[in-house]
Structure 1
Amino acid sequence: MGRPKQFDPDTAVAQATEVFWRKGYADTTPQDLIDALGIGKGSLYNTFGSKRALFERALEHYRDNQAAALTGLLDRPGPAKERLRTALRLAAEANLADPDRRGCFAVNTAAALGGADAEATASVRRMFDRTESAFEAVIEEGQRAGEIDRGRDPKATASMLLSTLIGMQVLSKTAEGSERSMRTIDAVIDSL
């Protein structure tokens, strides 16, 4: 009979997410994961199978947490445009408040592995699709309320917001302040 696991796999995935986010997939070694998770090599491989499998779980963990946070912001009561503005502003502020300027784990993964790694590309695409759908729902709500121009294509507008969010994630890695991001957010939301 095997010994019981001495760690919580969900906590380990959250810890691994931080390592992959900070270092990227290619630069994260199994030893980095073992050290961060405080587990043995056997436990790492017996529980997760491989570094790659743990990376996929880390991406899913990040995607689910980010989607829940965004949905929570967008589902609040109030005018649609202001909910969209708030969601974008909070994302920009969170990026700028990060002393390591890690940006977005999904965007970083897309830049490093997108197109070259089918599984990572599909995982990030699912996150982007989920985010775009959340934006689209709020845009349609704003159109029904007469807040957002009904002549705008909701899907195209949601794509614009997603592209704005992704661009801000990249810019935050080198930004000295929030002025550019806030100007961009206001210009995009005001154009609706």
Structure 2
Amino acid sequence: MARAKSFDTEAAVDAAMQVFWTNGYAGTTPQQLVDALGIGRGSLYNAFTSKHALYERALRRYQESETARLIEVLDGHGPARDRIRAALDLVVTASLRDSGGRGCMIANAAVEFGGTDEIVGHLVRRVFDRQEAAFRGAIEEGQLAGEIDRAADAGALASALLATINGIRVLAKADPDPARLSRLADTALRLL
């Protein structure tokens, strides 16, 4: 008869997310995971099969908890420009609040793995595609409402905004200067 798990798997994924977010995949040791999750090494591998499988779950959890807020703001109600501004402000605020300089776990995964890991690459692209689509949707709504120039290429603007938010998160890791990050957000908004 199999023994019942003596730990909360979802809480373990949350704890692992924090460790991976702080250290990256390569910088995280199995011992750090065991210590953070409060379980034995055998339980770690029995529950998650591998460090990589746990990392995948942690990336998905990050996407669910952290990046979903941006989408909610962009998909919300109110004038499109206000929603886009709120989304940019959300990224700046999160970047400044990140006293550990962790940045965005999804952007970190993109930098750490590049195109070398098919599963991580797919997760990263899915998040970036969803963020870009949310920006594009808000831009197109703004164009229909006359808030944003109808002749502008909504796809190109959405790509520029995606690059801006990821640039803000990366810059904030090295130099969390509020004035610089706010200037980036302001400049991106002027593109509209």
Scaled by the length of structure 1, the TM-score of the pair is 0.95
The whole-number CA distance in structure 2 between the counterparts of 1:35 and 1:129 is 35
CA contact (8 A) 1:67 1:130 kept: no
Query: What is the count of residue pairs matched by the alignment?
Result: 192
Identical pairs, percent? 51
Partner of 1:36: 36
**1:81-115 CA-partner distances (Å, limit 9, x unpaired):** 11111111111111111110111011111111112
* Segment of structure 1 superposing worse, 94-103 or 161-170: 94-103
CA contact (8 A) 2:70 2:90 kept: no
- Is it true that 1:190 corresponds to 2:190 in the alignment? yes
User: Equivalent residue of 2:152, what SS?
Assistant: coil
User: Equivalent residue of 2:173, what SS?
Assistant: coil
Gaps of 5+ in 1: none
User: Equivalent residue of 1:3, what SS?
Assistant: coil
Q: State the Cα RMSD in Å.
A: 1.2
Please give the residue correspondences for 1:83-122 in structure 2 after superposition, counting only pairs within 5 Å: 83-122=83-122
Please give the residue correspondences for 1:107-146 in structure 2 after superposition, counting only pairs within 5 Å: 107-146=107-146
Deviation at 1:176, TM superposition (A): 4.2
The whole-number CA distance in structure 2 between the counterparts of 1:93 and 1:11 is 26
**1:22-66 CA-partner distances (Å, limit 9, x unpaired):** 001001111111100011112111111100100011111111223
The whole-number CA distance in structure 2 between the counterparts of 1:5 and 1:32 is 20
Deviation at 1:119, TM superposition (A): 1.9
The whole-number CA distance in structure 1 between the counterparts of 2:176 and 2:22 is 20
CA contact (8 A) 2:17 2:59 kept: yes
The whole-number CA distance in structure 2 between the counterparts of 1:99 and 1:44 is 29
The whole-number CA distance in structure 2 between the counterparts of 1:129 and 1:76 is 18
The whole-number CA distance in structure 1 between the counterparts of 2:147 and 2:2 is 61
Deviation at 1:125, TM superposition (A): 1.0
Partner of 1:66: 66
User: Equivalent residue of 2:32, what SS?
Assistant: helix
Deviation at 1:77, TM superposition (A): 2.3
The whole-number CA distance in structure 2 between the counterparts of 1:133 and 1:52 is 28
The whole-number CA distance in structure 1 between the counterparts of 2:157 and 2:190 is 12
**1:145-165 CA-partner distances (Å, limit 9, x unpaired):** 110111112111110100001
The whole-number CA distance in structure 2 between the counterparts of 1:108 and 1:24 is 7
* Segment of structure 1 superposing worse, 107-116 or 63-72: 63-72
User: Equivalent residue of 2:36, what SS?
Assistant: helix
Deviation at 1:183, TM superposition (A): 1.1
Gaps of 5+ in 2: none
User: Equivalent residue of 1:11, what SS?
Assistant: helix
Deviation at 1:79, TM superposition (A): 1.3
Structure 1 pair 154/32, CA: closer, same or farther in 2 (3 Å)? same
Which amino acid is 1:55 matched to?
Y
